[in-house]
Amino acid sequence: MIAGRGLAGLKTRDLAREIGCANGAVYNLVADIDELILRVGSRTLHRLDEALSAAEGAGESSPQEALVRIAIAYCDFAADNLQLWRALFEHRMGAGKVVPDWSVEDQMRLFRHIYQPLATLFPKRSREELGITARSLFSAVHGMVALGLEQKLVAVPLPALRKEIAGLARAMIDGLIARQR
């Protein structure tokens, strides 16, 4: 239902009807809709993880190009799974509730993909520095994808967005390499 009508289109009553049970029975499977959304998010994150892994390995080449491929793969995944991907970031936890550990773990796993090539590129940097850089790179690419797929402001066709992301990703990496010297 999230994939079809978006996060806002997920209603407990519709859901109960779809899976063929009463309203209340949903709460035997899940404590909250928060939990339900997190569990869907977990699946999405795992599929995203696979997509990034595939991009990481494909075509042995420089770490630079691996990072660019990962960025493009991220963009493609988001475009192909628009609603599910949006749900990952649109969702806000209900008041007072805290994100469970297993969900945080799912999110953290993403940075691994960026960490690895970065560590090869910058062997002198500490684990912590690399972690921060990895997160920054991810955030930057994520921002481009997020606003690029929003379509509301300026309608940029997907191929142009991919090219733009590849360009800026290369620029960031080149800039980082040049800057460290």
Q: Binds 27, which of DNA, its own copies, none (CB < 5 to 8 A, cut-off by type)?
A: DNA
Give the binding site for its own copies (CB under 8 A): 8, 90, 92, 95, 99, 104, 107-108, 131-133, 135-144, 146-148, 152-154, 156, 160, 164-165, 167-168, 170-176, 178-179
Asked if 77 contacts 142 with a C-beta cutoff of 8 angstroms, the reply is no
CB of 34 to DNA, least distance (A): 6
Give the binding site for DNA (CB under 7 A): 10-13, 21-28, 32-34, 94
CB of 29 to its own copies, least distance (A): 25
Q: Binds 135, which of DNA, its own copies, none (CB < 5 to 8 A, cut-off by type)?
A: its own copies
CB of 130 to its own copies, least distance (A): 12
Asked if 110 contacts 56 with a C-beta cutoff of 8 angstroms, the reply is no
Q: Binds 108, which of DNA, its own copies, none (CB < 5 to 8 A, cut-off by type)?
A: its own copies
CB of 141 to its own copies, least distance (A): 7
